[in-house]
Structure 1
Amino acid sequence: MKTTLFRKLFILFLTGGALFIFLFSFLTFQLTENQFDHYLSDRFVQSRETLVDQLEESYVEYGEWNTDALAGINWTGMQSQIMFTIVTPSGEEIVPEVGMMSDGRRMMHGNGNAMLETDGDILTETIDLYADEIPIGTAELQYPGVPNYSNHEQQFISDMLNMLAIIAVVSIIAAAVAAYLLSKRLSKPIIETSDLTEAIAEGDYSRRLEYPEPIEELNKLQTNVNTLADQLAMQQTMRNQLVSDLAHEVRTPLTTLQGNIEAMMDGVWPMTTERLSLIGLEVKRLSQLIEKIDHIDDVQYQHNELKLETFDLTKRVGKIATIYEQRAMEKDIELTVNGHPLRIEADISQISQVITNLITNAIKFTPEKGEITVDVKAVDGFCHLSVSDTGKGISKENQQQIFNRFYQVEPSRNTKIEGQGLGLAVVKSIIDAHHGKIKVESDEGKGSVFTVILPIKQ
C-alpha cells in the first residue's frame, strides 16, 4: 500500500520522538527511585548509629538502664522502623515500651521478642554496647529487610510519577507538533518539485520553482529541475523553429517544381534543358536537406565506427579550400591556408566534413572584402586546426549555444540549407567521436576563431 512522503516522515519523527520520551522518562524514574532508595538506606544506617549512640549515652547519664529513657529512645527508633531489646551483662532482657510508628503501623512483641508489622522479612542484628570502653550489654536491633516507604515518601514517589507522566504527555504533544512541522517542511519542496516534473512530462515548460531552498540537497535538486525545464523549453522553441524553417525550406523548392512542371504540362514553357536543370537543382536542394538531417544522427550515434587512416591534414585542408575559392572570390574574400605538413590518424571523410563546415560557415558570415585564414600546427602532441574570419563575431551568450543541434545565431539568415543550425552540431559530434575538442573565441564586430584540437594519433 502506497503512502505519502509527509505521512511517512510524520510517523517516523513522531515514533522516534515518542520512543525517546518514553526511554527518557523511564530512565529518569529509575534513576530517581534508585537514588531515593540509596538515600533511605543511608538515612537508616545513620539512624541506627544514632540509636546506638543514644543508648550508650543514656546508660552513662543514669548509671544504669533507665526504662523511661529507653522508652524515649525507642520512640525515636520507631520513626526509622527500628526496635531494640537490651540484654544486660547478667543476661536480663529489657524491653522498652512500644507504640505506633510514624506511618500508623504498630510495633509489638511476640513471645518475648519484638516484632514489626511489615510485609517483608525481619532482620535481627546484635550490637555490643560500651560505656568508657566497659561492656554494658548488647542491643538486639530488629528492622525490616526491605525498608518500607512512609506515607510522605510514598506521596513523593506518586507525585514524581504523576509529574513524569504529565511531562511525557506534554512532550509527546510537542513532538507531534514538531514532527508535523518538520515533515511538512521537508516534504513540501519535494512535492513541489514532483509537481513540476509532472508538468514537464505533460509538456508544460513554463513553470519554475521560484523560492530558493536553504537545504543544500533540496536546493540542488530544484536547481537541476529548473535547469532541465529551461533546456527543454529551449529545445521546444528550437524544435518549433526547426519545423517552421523546414516547412519554409521544403515549400520553396516544391512550389518551384510544381510551377515549372505545371507550366511545361500546359505548354506555357517549353521543356528545355535549362528548365529541367532548374528542376534538378531544386530536387537536389531537397535531397541535401534530408541528407544533412539524417547525417547528424549518424555522426552522434556511431562514434565507434570511425574508419581511421593516416593522412596529411594540411594537404587535406588545402584541397578543400581550393574547392571553395570560387565562392570566396564571389564575395571578394581572401582565403588563406597556413601550416607545415602534419600527418594525423583520423577518419578522413568525417574530418573533411569538419573542414568543409567551418570554411563554408566562415564564408557565409564574413562580409565582402573580408579575410579567412586557416592555420594547421602541432602543439604538445595534438594538432590545432584554426579557422579565423573577420565577420560580425558572436556574442558571449550565443557562444554557449552555437554547437547545439538546430541552434541559429540569426534565424533570419535561414535562406540556405546551411542555415538550418546543423553544421556546427555536426562538427562537434565528429570531434567528440575523435576524442578531441572544439572551442570558439569571438568578439562582436571583430570576427571569430574556431579551433579544433585533435590527438595526432587515436
Structure 2
Amino acid sequence: MKHSLRTKFSLTFALVLLLTIGLISLLSNFFIEKQFTNYLAVQQDKRTLEIADNLSQQYDSVAKTWDADFVHTIGMYALNDGYLISVMDAEGQIIWDAQTCDMSLCEQVTDEINQRMTMLRRAREGEFTEKSLSLIKNNEIIGTVQISYYGPYFLNEDDFQFLKSLNTILIGIGLFSLFFSFILGTFLAKRLSSPILKTVSVAKEISDGDYAVRIKESSNTKELDELIITINHLADSLGKQEALRKQLTADVAHELRTPLTSVGTHIEAMIEGVWEPTTERLKSCHDEILRIGKIIQDLESLAKVESENIKLQKSKINIVEAIDKALYSLAAEIKKKNLDVVTTGMGSDIEADLNRITQVLINLISNAVKYTPEGGAIEVSLSESDTDQKIQIKDNGIGIGEEDLPFIFERFYRADKSRNRMTGGTGIGLAIVKSIVSAHGGTVEVESRLSEGSCFTITLPK
C-alpha cells in the first residue's frame, strides 16, 4: 500500500520525536529513581544512628536508670517509620521491644512495607535485616539496640507517593509528547512536502507538453531549492528544444521545398512545351537535385556523428598537420576572397581521430572564410597545457548576435534568419562540430560580437 509523502513525513517525525522523548523519559525515570534510592539508603543509615543516639540520651548515668516512657515514644515513632527496635541495657536485659509492645502493629508495618516494595517491583532486591548498635553515653557503653528494617532501603508512604507521582508525570509527558510530536510532524511534513508536491505537479505539466510552466516558490532547504531550480531549468531547456524542433521542421521543409518546387516547375514547363529542354535548364534542375542530396547528406552526417555508437579511430596525430590539411582544402576559397590566414603557436601530438578533427577544423575555418569580408584576416592559434590542447579560430567578420550565441550549436539553427544558403548553409555544421569534440571528451566555446568577428575555442584532451 502506497502512502503520500506528507503522511510518511508526518509519521517519521512523530516516531522520531516520540522515541526521543520516550527514551529521555525512561532514562530520566531510571536515573532519578536510582539516585533517589541511593539517597534513601544513606538516609536509612543516618536514621538508625539517629535512633541509637536518641535512645542513649534517655539513660541517666548518675541514677543508672532509663526513662522508659521516652524509650517507648522513640520506639513507637521508629516503628511507624518502619524500624522495629529492641533496646537492652548493659546486662542484656530488655528495656523495650517493639514486638512485645505491639505485635499486630509490627506485622502491619512489615506487611505495608513489603506491599509497597512489591508494587515498586523491588521486593526481590531486599529483605528485612537486623542491625545491632551499641548505645554509648559519656564514652561508656550503656546498652545495645537491635534495629530490624527492610534493607538496603525501603519506601515509606510519602516516598512511595513521590515515586508514583513522578511516574504519572513522566507518563503524562510521554502522552503529551506523542500528541505534540504528531502535530509538529504534520506541520513540518506539510512545510517540507509542499515544494516537492508542487514540483511533482509542475513536472507532470511539463511531461504533458506545457513548457511555459515554472515553480515560483523557493525553499530554504538547499536540496529542495536545487530541485526547484533544476525543474525550472528543465522546463526552460525543453521549451527551447521544442522551439528548435519546430524551427527544424520548418527549416527542413523550406530547404527541401525550394529545390523541389524549382525542379518541379522547370520539368512541368518543359513537359508542357513552354520551355525547351535545353542543356542549361537541365543543368539547373540537376543543381537543385544535388542541393537536395547535400541536405540529405548533412542530415546523415549529423545522425552518424550524434549516434551513441559513434566509433572514433584514434591514433597519435599532430594537430598542426590537421590544421594544414584543413587550410589546404579551403585554399581556393581563401585565395578567392584574398584573406590573410595565419597560424601561430605550437602544437603537439594528441590521441584523436584525424578525419573527425579535420572535419571540425574545416567546418569552423569554412565558416570563418564565409563570414569574413574580402581582405579580412583569420588567425588559427595553438596553445597547450600538460593535459589539454587548445585551438582558437578567430576572424574579423560579421560576428554573431548575443541573443543567438546560446543556440548556434543546435541543429539547423542559423543566426541568419533569411535562410539564404549562400550565407547560412543548412545550420548543421556547428552541431557536427560540437558532437565530434564532445565524443573526444573536449569542449567547444564561442565568443563573438556583431561587426567585430568571432572566436571559436576548441579544447581537446591530449
Which TM-score bucket, shorter chain as reference?
0.7 to 0.9
1:245 to partner: Cα distance: 1.3
1:53 to partner: Cα distance: 0.8
The 8 Å contact of residues 370 and 391 in structure 1, kept in 2 or not, is answered as no
Query: Residue type of the partner of 1:54?
Result: N
Provide the residue aligned with 1:45 in structure 2. 45
Q: Output aligned runs, 1:74-223, within 5 Å.
A: 74-95=75-96, 108-109=102-103, 117-119=109-111, 120=114, 121-145=127-151, 148-223=154-229
Distance 1:42 1:355 in 2: 94
Distance 1:309 1:20 in 2: 64
1:309 to partner: Cα distance: 8.2
Q: Output aligned runs, 1:249-288, within 5 Å.
A: 249-288=255-294
Query: Residue type of the partner of 1:365?
Result: Y
What is the RMSD of the two structures over their aligned residues, measured on CA atoms? 3.3
Change in CA separation of 1:415 and 1:141 when aligned onto 2, cut-off 3 Å: same
1:297 to partner: Cα distance: 2.1
The 8 Å contact of residues 84 and 98 in structure 2, kept in 1 or not, is answered as no
Q: Output aligned runs, 1:48-447, within 5 Å.
A: 48-60=48-60, 63-95=64-96, 108-109=102-103, 117-119=109-111, 120=114, 121-145=127-151, 148-301=154-307, 303-306=310-313, 312-313=321-322, 315-325=324-334, 329=336, 333-339=337-343, 347=353, 349-367=355-373, 369=374, 371-375=376-380, 386-415=392-421, 418-434=424-440, 437-447=443-453
Query: Residue type of the partner of 1:323?
Result: A
1:136 to partner: Cα distance: 1.9
Provide the residue aligned with 1:17 in structure 2. 17
1:387 to partner: Cα distance: 3.9
Distance 2:298 2:252 in 1: 12
Change in CA separation of 1:407 and 1:148 when aligned onto 2, cut-off 3 Å: same
Query: Residue type of the partner of 1:405?
Result: R
Distance 1:310 1:81 in 2: 103
Query: Residue type of the partner of 1:74?
Result: G
* 1:97-132: CA deviation from partner (whole Å, max 9, x where unpaired): 789xxxxxxx8238xx97664234543322222332
Q: Structure 2: any 5+ residue segments left out of the alignment?
A: 115-126
Change in CA separation of 1:437 and 1:15 when aligned onto 2, cut-off 3 Å: closer
The 8 Å contact of residues 211 and 235 in structure 2, kept in 1 or not, is answered as yes
1:241 to partner: Cα distance: 0.7
The 8 Å contact of residues 371 and 397 in structure 2, kept in 1 or not, is answered as yes
Q: Which moved more, 1:307-316 or 1:125-134?
A: 307-316
* 1:286-328: CA deviation from partner (whole Å, max 9, x where unpaired): 11111101101212335433375868445424432333247xx
Query: Residue type of the partner of 1:338?
Result: V
Helix, strand or coil for the counterpart of 2:57?
A: helix
1:146 to partner: Cα distance: 6.6
Distance 2:3 2:392 in 1: 59
Q: Which moved more, 1:117-126 or 1:309-318?
A: 309-318
The 8 Å contact of residues 86 and 140 in structure 1, kept in 2 or not, is answered as yes
Q: Which moved more, 1:350-359 or 1:45-54?
A: 350-359
Distance 2:146 2:385 in 1: 106
Q: Which moved more, 1:382-391 or 1:193-202?
A: 382-391
1:80 to partner: Cα distance: 2.4
The 8 Å contact of residues 362 and 389 in structure 1, kept in 2 or not, is answered as yes
The 8 Å contact of residues 289 and 417 in structure 1, kept in 2 or not, is answered as no
1:44 to partner: Cα distance: 2.3
1:242 to partner: Cα distance: 1.1
1:183 to partner: Cα distance: 1.8
Change in CA separation of 1:375 and 1:143 when aligned onto 2, cut-off 3 Å: closer
1:174 to partner: Cα distance: 1.1
Distance 1:427 1:38 in 2: 83
Provide the residue aligned with 2:124 in structure 1. none
Provide the residue aligned with 2:32 in structure 1. 32
1:399 to partner: Cα distance: 3.2
Query: Residue type of the partner of 2:454?
Result: S
Change in CA separation of 1:191 and 1:229 when aligned onto 2, cut-off 3 Å: same
Query: Residue type of the partner of 2:376?
Result: E
Distance 1:97 1:324 in 2: 129
Helix, strand or coil for the counterpart of 1:118?
A: helix
Change in CA separation of 1:136 and 1:359 when aligned onto 2, cut-off 3 Å: closer
Helix, strand or coil for the counterpart of 1:305?
A: coil
The 8 Å contact of residues 389 and 447 in structure 1, kept in 2 or not, is answered as yes
1:181 to partner: Cα distance: 1.6
Distance 1:347 1:152 in 2: 93
The 8 Å contact of residues 129 and 137 in structure 1, kept in 2 or not, is answered as yes
Change in CA separation of 1:115 and 1:133 when aligned onto 2, cut-off 3 Å: farther
The 8 Å contact of residues 86 and 93 in structure 1, kept in 2 or not, is answered as yes
Distance 2:152 2:207 in 1: 74
The 8 Å contact of residues 196 and 224 in structure 2, kept in 1 or not, is answered as yes
Paired positions, count: 441
Change in CA separation of 1:378 and 1:134 when aligned onto 2, cut-off 3 Å: closer
Distance 1:206 1:391 in 2: 36
